[in-house]
Amino acid sequence: MYARSTTIVGKPGEVDAGIAYVRNEVMPAMSTLDGCAGLSMVVDRLRGRAIVTSSWETMEAMGASIATAAPLRSRAAELFGGEPVVDKWEIVMMHREHEAPGAACCRISWGEAASVDATVERFKRDVMPLVERAEGFCSASMFVNRLSRRLCGTVTFDSRETMAATRELGVERRQTITEMTGMYFTDVGEFDVVLAHLRVPDLV
Protein backbone atom coordinates (compact mmCIF):
# COMPACT_ATOMS: atom_id res chain seq x y z
CA MET A 1 0.00 0.00 0.00
CA TYR A 2 1.02 3.62 -0.50
CA ALA A 3 0.63 6.99 1.16
CA ARG A 4 0.87 10.67 0.28
CA SER A 5 1.61 13.14 3.05
CA THR A 6 1.17 16.90 2.92
CA THR A 7 3.05 18.95 5.50
CA ILE A 8 2.20 22.60 6.15
CA VAL A 9 3.93 24.88 8.64
CA GLY A 10 1.62 27.84 9.08
CA LYS A 11 0.16 30.11 11.72
CA PRO A 12 -0.47 28.43 15.11
CA GLY A 13 -3.68 30.41 15.53
CA GLU A 14 -5.15 28.89 12.36
CA VAL A 15 -4.64 25.24 13.29
CA ASP A 16 -8.21 24.65 14.48
CA ALA A 17 -9.67 26.14 11.30
CA GLY A 18 -7.38 23.88 9.28
CA ILE A 19 -8.44 20.81 11.25
CA ALA A 20 -12.12 21.62 10.67
CA TYR A 21 -11.53 22.02 6.94
CA VAL A 22 -9.71 18.71 6.63
CA ARG A 23 -12.35 16.89 8.69
CA ASN A 24 -15.39 18.43 6.96
CA GLU A 25 -14.17 18.92 3.39
CA VAL A 26 -10.98 17.03 2.58
CA MET A 27 -11.73 13.68 4.20
CA PRO A 28 -15.22 13.28 2.66
CA ALA A 29 -13.94 14.25 -0.80
CA MET A 30 -10.98 11.89 -0.71
CA SER A 31 -12.93 8.96 0.73
CA THR A 32 -15.10 8.80 -2.41
CA LEU A 33 -12.11 8.15 -4.68
CA ASP A 34 -11.34 4.65 -5.94
CA GLY A 35 -8.51 3.02 -4.05
CA CYS A 36 -8.48 5.47 -1.15
CA ALA A 37 -7.84 3.66 2.14
CA GLY A 38 -8.43 6.53 4.52
CA LEU A 39 -6.84 9.67 5.89
CA SER A 40 -5.09 10.84 9.04
CA MET A 41 -4.03 14.21 10.42
CA VAL A 42 -1.55 15.19 13.12
CA VAL A 43 -0.73 18.69 14.37
CA ASP A 44 1.87 20.48 16.44
CA ARG A 45 -0.20 23.37 17.73
CA LEU A 46 2.72 25.36 19.14
CA ARG A 47 4.57 25.45 15.83
CA GLY A 48 1.55 25.52 13.56
CA ARG A 49 2.74 22.34 11.86
CA ALA A 50 0.21 19.94 10.35
CA ILE A 51 0.62 16.68 8.42
CA VAL A 52 -2.28 15.18 6.47
CA THR A 53 -1.72 11.67 5.14
CA SER A 54 -3.90 9.74 2.71
CA SER A 55 -3.42 6.00 2.11
CA TRP A 56 -3.95 4.17 -1.17
CA GLU A 57 -4.32 0.59 -2.32
CA THR A 58 -2.12 1.12 -5.38
CA MET A 59 0.32 3.65 -6.80
CA GLU A 60 -2.04 4.12 -9.75
CA ALA A 61 -4.95 5.05 -7.47
CA MET A 62 -2.78 7.56 -5.65
CA GLY A 63 -1.72 9.13 -8.94
CA ALA A 64 -5.30 9.32 -10.21
CA SER A 65 -6.32 11.33 -7.14
CA ILE A 66 -4.09 14.32 -7.95
CA ALA A 67 -6.81 16.30 -9.74
CA THR A 68 -9.07 16.10 -6.68
CA ALA A 69 -6.33 16.55 -4.10
CA ALA A 70 -4.59 19.60 -5.60
CA PRO A 71 -7.34 22.23 -5.06
CA LEU A 72 -8.11 20.84 -1.60
CA ARG A 73 -4.44 21.14 -0.70
CA SER A 74 -4.29 24.71 -1.98
CA ARG A 75 -7.27 25.71 0.14
CA ALA A 76 -5.77 24.05 3.21
CA ALA A 77 -2.54 25.98 2.65
CA GLU A 78 -4.51 29.23 2.54
CA LEU A 79 -6.24 28.42 5.82
CA PHE A 80 -3.04 27.42 7.60
CA GLY A 81 -1.03 30.26 6.10
CA GLY A 82 1.87 28.12 4.90
CA GLU A 83 3.27 26.37 1.83
CA PRO A 84 2.48 22.65 1.45
CA VAL A 85 5.25 20.08 1.02
CA VAL A 86 4.14 16.78 -0.52
CA ASP A 87 5.85 13.40 -0.05
CA LYS A 88 4.98 10.01 -1.53
CA TRP A 89 5.63 6.79 0.36
CA GLU A 90 5.34 3.04 0.29
CA ILE A 91 3.83 1.64 3.50
CA VAL A 92 6.11 -1.21 4.59
CA MET A 93 4.95 -1.67 8.19
CA MET A 94 1.77 -1.04 10.15
CA HIS A 95 0.99 -2.53 13.53
CA ARG A 96 -1.83 -1.55 15.90
CA GLU A 97 -2.08 -2.70 19.48
CA HIS A 98 -5.46 -0.94 19.62
CA GLU A 99 -7.29 1.97 18.03
CA ALA A 100 -6.09 5.48 18.85
CA PRO A 101 -8.11 7.13 21.64
CA GLY A 102 -9.19 10.75 21.50
CA ALA A 103 -6.15 11.97 23.45
CA ALA A 104 -3.62 10.08 21.29
CA CYS A 105 -0.28 11.65 20.41
CA CYS A 106 2.55 10.46 18.19
CA ARG A 107 6.26 10.85 17.67
CA ILE A 108 7.40 10.90 14.05
CA SER A 109 11.04 10.35 13.04
CA TRP A 110 12.41 11.01 9.56
CA GLY A 111 15.73 9.76 8.30
CA GLU A 112 17.84 8.47 5.43
CA ALA A 113 19.61 5.16 5.01
CA ALA A 114 22.01 3.57 2.53
CA SER A 115 19.85 0.45 2.49
CA VAL A 116 16.14 1.02 3.09
CA ASP A 117 15.24 -2.68 3.19
CA ALA A 118 18.00 -3.61 5.64
CA THR A 119 17.04 -0.75 7.94
CA VAL A 120 13.37 -1.73 7.93
CA GLU A 121 14.18 -5.37 8.67
CA ARG A 122 16.48 -4.48 11.55
CA PHE A 123 13.82 -2.16 12.97
CA LYS A 124 11.16 -4.87 12.79
CA ARG A 125 13.43 -7.50 14.33
CA ASP A 126 15.40 -5.61 16.97
CA VAL A 127 13.60 -2.36 17.79
CA MET A 128 9.89 -3.02 17.33
CA PRO A 129 9.70 -5.56 20.20
CA LEU A 130 11.08 -2.86 22.52
CA VAL A 131 8.69 -0.20 21.19
CA GLU A 132 5.68 -2.44 21.84
CA ARG A 133 6.59 -2.78 25.52
CA ALA A 134 6.29 0.95 26.22
CA GLU A 135 3.44 1.95 28.50
CA GLY A 136 0.64 3.55 26.50
CA PHE A 137 1.82 2.10 23.16
CA CYS A 138 -0.96 2.30 20.60
CA SER A 139 0.52 1.69 17.12
CA ALA A 140 3.59 1.99 14.93
CA SER A 141 4.17 2.40 11.21
CA MET A 142 7.03 2.75 8.76
CA PHE A 143 6.86 4.54 5.40
CA VAL A 144 9.71 4.54 2.86
CA ASN A 145 10.67 6.27 -0.36
CA ARG A 146 13.12 3.97 -2.07
CA LEU A 147 14.24 6.49 -4.69
CA SER A 148 15.35 9.07 -2.12
CA ARG A 149 16.26 6.39 0.49
CA ARG A 150 14.12 8.19 3.04
CA LEU A 151 12.19 6.60 5.90
CA CYS A 152 9.40 7.92 8.11
CA GLY A 153 8.55 6.08 11.31
CA THR A 154 5.58 6.90 13.55
CA VAL A 155 4.86 5.61 17.05
CA THR A 156 1.48 6.52 18.54
CA PHE A 157 0.70 6.63 22.26
CA ASP A 158 -2.53 6.80 24.23
CA SER A 159 -1.73 10.25 25.66
CA ARG A 160 0.80 13.05 25.71
CA GLU A 161 1.91 11.89 29.16
CA THR A 162 2.79 8.38 28.01
CA MET A 163 4.56 9.77 24.95
CA ALA A 164 6.59 12.20 27.08
CA ALA A 165 7.62 9.35 29.36
CA THR A 166 9.38 7.63 26.42
CA ARG A 167 11.38 10.64 25.18
CA GLU A 168 14.75 9.62 26.60
CA LEU A 169 14.18 6.03 25.57
CA GLY A 170 13.34 7.24 22.07
CA VAL A 171 16.67 9.02 21.83
CA GLU A 172 18.46 5.84 22.87
CA ARG A 173 16.60 3.76 20.30
CA ARG A 174 17.38 6.18 17.49
CA GLN A 175 21.05 5.98 18.45
CA THR A 176 20.79 2.20 18.41
CA ILE A 177 19.22 2.23 14.94
CA THR A 178 22.00 4.50 13.67
CA GLU A 179 24.65 2.18 15.11
CA MET A 180 22.99 -0.94 13.70
CA THR A 181 22.09 0.30 10.23
CA GLY A 182 23.96 3.52 9.49
CA MET A 183 20.66 5.38 9.17
CA TYR A 184 20.82 9.00 10.25
CA PHE A 185 17.83 10.98 11.44
CA THR A 186 16.95 14.31 9.85
CA ASP A 187 13.98 15.36 12.01
CA VAL A 188 11.86 14.26 14.96
CA GLY A 189 8.50 15.78 15.92
CA GLU A 190 5.74 15.23 18.45
CA PHE A 191 2.11 15.75 17.46
CA ASP A 192 -1.50 15.48 18.57
CA VAL A 193 -3.44 12.91 16.55
CA VAL A 194 -6.61 14.74 15.48
CA LEU A 195 -7.83 12.34 12.76
CA ALA A 196 -7.01 8.63 12.74
CA HIS A 197 -8.78 7.07 9.78
CA LEU A 198 -6.06 5.27 7.84
CA ARG A 199 -7.69 1.96 6.95
CA VAL A 200 -4.39 0.19 6.38
CA PRO A 201 -4.29 -3.47 7.49
CA ASP A 202 -1.54 -4.75 9.75
CA LEU A 203 1.69 -5.13 7.78
CA VAL A 204 4.46 -6.70 9.85
Higher pLDDT, 204 or 183: 183
Q: H or E stretch including 26? A: none
Which residues lie closer than 8 Å to 95 by C-beta, 6 or more apart?
128, 132, 139, 140, 141, 202, 203, 204
User: Tell me, what's the pLDDT at 147?
Assistant: 96
CATH 3.30.70.100 fits 91-198, yes or no: yes
pLDDT for the residue 140: 95
- Give the model confidence (pLDDT) of 144-174 as tens digits: 999 999 999 999 999 999 999 999 988 988 8
Residue 46's pLDDT band, with cuts at 50, 70 and 90, is very high
**In the chain, what are the domain boundaries?**
2-89, 91-198
Do the Cβ atoms of 192 and 19 come closer than 8 Å? no
pLDDT 10s digits, 176-199: 888 888 889 999 999 999 999 988
Q: Does residue 7 contact residue 84 with C-beta atoms inside 8 Å?
A: yes
**pLDDT for position 83:** 95
In whole angstroms, what is the distance from residue 202 CA to residue 204 CA? 6
Q: Rounded to whole angstroms, how far apart are CA atoms 49 and 7?
A: 7
The pLDDT of residue 180 is 82
Please work out, in degrees rounded to the nearest 5, the angle formed at the alpha carbon of residue 68 by the alpha carbons of 59 and 44.
85
The domain defined by 2-89 folds into Alpha-Beta Plaits (3.30.70)
**Residue 179: predicted pLDDT:** 86
